[in-house]
Amino acid sequence: MFPLIIINRKKLIDNIENVLKMSRENNIPYITFVVKAFSGNEEILSIINSTSLKSIGDSRIENLKKFQSLPIEKMLLRIPMLSEVRDVIKYADISLNSELPVIEALNAEAKAQNKIHDILIMFDLGDLREGLYYKSDYLPFIKKVLSLQNINIKGIGTNLTCYGGLIPDEIILNRLVQIKNKIENGFSIKLDIISGGNSSSVTLFNQNIIPKEINHLRLGESILFGKETSYSKEIKGLNHDVFLFQAEIIECKTKPSFPDGTITINSFGEVPQIEDKGMITRLILAIGKQDVILENLVPIDENLSILGGSSDHLILESKNNKYKVGNIVTFKINYPALVHLMNSNYVKKDFQ
């Protein structure tokens, strides 16, 4: 049945182990594998159990709830909502936090569940997503959190590149190290985890510029696609084709390339920008914008190119005549496409 996303188990396992090895070689012993792209699909459990992973992370507590059978750490990556505090304590071993009211609520719930809950306090080093701003007076915040009996500050962390596109470098990461030193010296405590970001920090591997205090990264795309995310470059020694996507042709006809009449906005409120190429062979596939951003698909056959589409249709131009109705077209995908396709109930998932 189609549409279908194919996940190569062996290549994914190889990437996991190789990234863990690369991280250790760069003096980062602690890696959390970010699994949010799988949308809680429980097929990932057997893959993780086949590796030496010690930690997984997801942005949604609903997904971590499905992974309770895994005998490894489960980290909630998105700072918690007040409305989900009970489930955070129940299903997450550790969570990322930046708001005192939420941490206080976590403390109360942890007490009710007779648990000590670990947290990473997030610091914004300039990318301007979540976290206490690094130039702010954050020590009073830390003091209040340290007074909470059922909360343990396991460490501190930051997120880079995802919103503001801030590239990690020695200067940026040393801001986190300075925060670490200020907290440890100010309160006579030891922070176990200094989390230096995500797959964008992998670009610093093998350059001897990652501060030695950074001992943890939260990695998704570098494992899944074998790419660092600062410059979107492929990492040597990793698989870059763990995922393939397939969709079925439902129409194959020779038609004009340009609409015949007055053009207005399309179904997504956009004015189509369509090139007049004369008569062309057009393929319609049974996949659409409801399932994926079409521009994030790349046909493996170089004779095919994406023209556009609508909610439920993808339209391709074919420069040869080998395709017919019922044929399957295979695509390479990127990380955003994986996230969308795995979240679509209309796309079949095949772990091979």
Catalytic (active-site) positions? 36
The encoded tokens of residue 346 equal: 């209309």
CB atoms within 10 A of CB 25: 10
The string of DSSP letters for 319-338 reads SSS---TT-EEEEEE-HHHH
What is the rounded distance in angstroms from the CA atom of residue 137 to the CA atom of residue 133? 9
Cβ–Cβ < 8 Å for 37, 335:
yes
Largest CA distance in the chain: 75
Cβ within 8 Å of residue 261, ≥6 positions away:
none
What is the rounded distance in angstroms from the CA atom of residue 117 to the CA atom of residue 110? 6
Strand (E) or helix (H) holding 258 = none
Cβ–Cβ < 8 Å for 176, 194:
yes
Burial class of 252 by CB neighbour count within 10 A (0 to 12, 13 to 18, 19+): middle
Dihedral Cα 31, 34, 38, 43, nearest 10 deg: 20
23: left (phi over 0), alpha (psi -120 to 50) or beta: alpha
The amino acid sitting at 231 is Y
Cβ–Cβ < 8 Å for 4, 244:
no
What does DSSP say about strands 243-256 and 4-7: parallel, antiparallel, or unpaired?
Answer: antiparallel
Strand, helix or coil at 7?
strand
Q: Evaluate the omega torsion of the peptide bond into residue 140 and state whether it is cis, within 30 degrees of 0.
A: no
